Amino acid sequence: MNRLLVDDILRNALTEDLGGGDVTTELLPEAGRPATGTLLAKAPGVLCGAGIAARCFTLLDESVEISLKLEDGAELRDGVEIGRLRGRAASLLAAERTALNFVQHLSGIATLSRRLAQRAAEHGIRIVETRKTTPGLRVLEKYAVRVGGGYNHRYDLSSAVLLKDNHFALSKLKPGELVRRVRAQASHALRVIAEATDPQLVEELAANGADVILLDNFAPDEVRWAVRQVAGRALVEVSGGVNEANLDAYVVPGVDVISIGALTHSVRALDISLEIEPR
């Protein structure tokens, strides 16, 4: 990850939460005294963002000392110690919520990603997220998907050509002709992904040079039919409506990728706490 970009994200989050200052802690007589903090898992899952949480404290106060016992990707269980912090009580308290927000959210993404990725990997299929990420947190959320064992879809609009229903609707060309035109003009380094919202489009898109056929909201039987139509001429991506409950129905031989927006936009945070006490 770009550490400069990550620091900007964390700095903005700390600034947002601190506002005019931590008025509660500033009123405590013990605020300037040394304290220790223990980062604990309160539920089973996959750790992600331990170093990011730690960085929240050192950005606020570089004198804070941190010792992490576990690395991102570690399997957690209730009560496991993730790491310890030492520093001024005021610094630990001021950065606590921001740090926990990051590590809880990212660990939730990594946990769900691992569950889904392991099920799909048995069949040679990659689980990827989408661009349905929290504004400003994309680099972190995509990192969390990788930590969980998933893969990343395009990072931004410049990462690949993706012709969707609205692009086809705006074009005066037939979908196949548009794919061929774009394929001829795009950089050789860019893949051309074409979305099929109707089974009738699959053959047309595959025959005109799409590198990836994205099957949008296809039923499982339609996915099987589409895989036979593509016949290896392009990668097959399944997207739209796939979730943890119905994933197995879409693990179809010949599918290469399943993209799931819920990996980032509907994930449940993992319960992690910071227990602070005087030193």
Q: Which residues are catalytic?
A: 97, 132, 164, 195, 216
User: If you count them, how many residues does the chain have?
Assistant: 279
**Backbone φ, ψ for residue 46 (5° rounding):** -115, 125
Measured between alpha carbons, how far is 235 from 174 in angstroms, rounded to an integer? 21
Round to whole Å and give the CA distance between 218 and 161. 21
- Tell me the two tokens of residue 104: 């809880």
- Could you please report the per-residue DSSP string of 154-221? -SSTTSSEEE-HHHHHH-SS-HHHHHHHHHHHS-TTS-EEEEESSTHHHHHHHHTT-SEEEEES--HH
Q: Could you tell me the two tokens for 274? A: 């910071």
Tokens of 114: 């691992």
Nearest to 176 by CA among 157, 196, 154: 196
Q: Determine the longest span between alpha carbons in the chain, in angstroms.
A: 74
H-helix or E-strand containing 227?
Answer: helix 220-230
d(CA 172, CA 181): 12
